[in-house]
Amino acid sequence: MNIAITFRQMEATESMKSYAQDKVGKLQKFLRQPMKGHVTLMCQKTIQSAEVDVHAGGEHFHAAETSEDMYASIDKVIDKLEAQIRKTNGVIVAKKKGAERASERLLPEGAEDE
Is 53 within a domain? yes
What's the pLDDT at 3?
93
Domain assignment present for 42: yes
- The CATH number of whichever domain residue 52 belongs to comes to 3.30.160.100
Would you say residue 110 lies in a domain?
no
* 46 within a domain of the structure (yes/no): yes
Comparing 22-26, 61-65, 67-71, 90-94, which segment has the lowest mean pLDDT?
A: 90-94
Ramachandran angles phi, psi of 109, nearest 5°: -60, 140
What does the pLDDT look like over 37-56, one tens digit per residue? 999 999 998 999 999 999 99
The yes-or-no verdict on residue 23 having pLDDT over 70 is yes
Read off the pLDDT band of 103 (50, 70, 90): very low
Question: In sequence order, what are the residues at sequence separation of 6 or more whose Cβ sits closer than 8 angstroms to the Cβ of residue 71?
Answer: 19
Residue pair 47/66 in contact by the 8 Å Cβ criterion = yes
- State the Cα–Cα distance between residues 28 and 105, nearest whole angstrom: 37
Is 111 a member of any domain? no
Let me know if residue 81 belongs to a domain: yes
- The domain in which residue 78 lies consists of 2-105
Is 112 part of a structural domain of the chain?
A: no
Provide the whole-model pTM.
0.77
Q: Mention every residue, 6+ apart, whose C-beta is less than 8 A from residue 20.
A: 3, 5, 39, 41, 50, 74
**104 pLDDT more than 70:** no
Using an 8 Å Cβ cutoff, are 39 and 24 in contact?
A: yes
Number of domains the chain contains:
1
Instruction: Look at residue 75 and tell me if it is in a domain.
Output: yes
Residue 57: the pLDDT is 86
